[in-house]
Structure 1
Amino acid sequence: MKSRKDEERRAAALTYKQGFYAPVVVARGKGVMAEAIIACAREAGVYVHESPELVNLLMQVDTDAFIPPELYRAVAEVLVWLYGIEQERQ
């Protein structure tokens, strides 16, 4: 049986800029903080991708730190998918 804590929503936000060797975790949190991260993203027009498994891994990365090499492939797949969505909108 899941406790209330197990069901608490989690979120992580990434950024990637030219010149960076990997994306950076710019925000992460659970509960109220996760809801705030998601609300800010939506207000800014940023697509919110839901992947509990990936978020759980990103929650282990310090804020303002590059993602570890073990997550490159998973994050790259999300970015490629997101790029496709953005191309369809244009």
Structure 2
Amino acid sequence: MAEETTLSPPETAETEGRRSLAVALQEGPAGTPRVVAKGRGKLAEQILAIAFDRGVKVRSDADLAEILAAIDVDSEVPLQALAAVAEILTYVYRASAPPPATGDGPGDAPGDAP
């Protein structure tokens, strides 16, 4: 995974007494995700702005963001959290993939030549 994946609630203002939180992940040397940035409040807004500017998919998951925020920057995500991270990465990859052919246009049916 060459791009960083950002996980955060989309809110940028304080809600329900909790400040916004953003955690950015990137593939580490061993192929496992590592935390490359994290922050609350204004720093979270900056992390999200960078992600949006770079076209990085952002997933809203406050519980997972809180778990990942406990991990030190430049540290790999521990094995216990990898299942949750895998679920998020699956979402990101699916959101990034082109939509499948619907079969409504020419060449979309099996056996049709393009």
Q: TM range, normalised to the smaller chain?
A: 0.7 to 0.9
Bigger fraction of residues in helix: 1
Gaps of at least 5 residues in structure 2 are 1-13, 101-114
TM-score under structure 2 length normalisation:
0.69
- The answer to whether residue 88 in structure 2 is matched with residue 82 in structure 1 is no
- Counting aligned pairs with the same residue, the percent is 32
- The answer to whether residue 48 in structure 2 is matched with residue 38 in structure 1 is yes
Higher RCO structure, 1 or 2 (CA under 8 Å, sep 6+): 1
Gaps of at least 5 residues in structure 1 are none
The DSSP-based 3-state class of the residue aligned with 1:54 is helix
Question: 4+ residue runs of structure 1 moved beyond 6 angstroms?
Answer: none
- The answer to whether residue 66 in structure 2 is matched with residue 52 in structure 1 is no
Q: Which amino acid aligns with 1:61?
A: I
Aligned to 1:65: 75
RMSD: 2.2
Number of matched pairs = 87
Q: Deviations over 1:49-69 (max 9, x none)?
A: 110000000110000000111
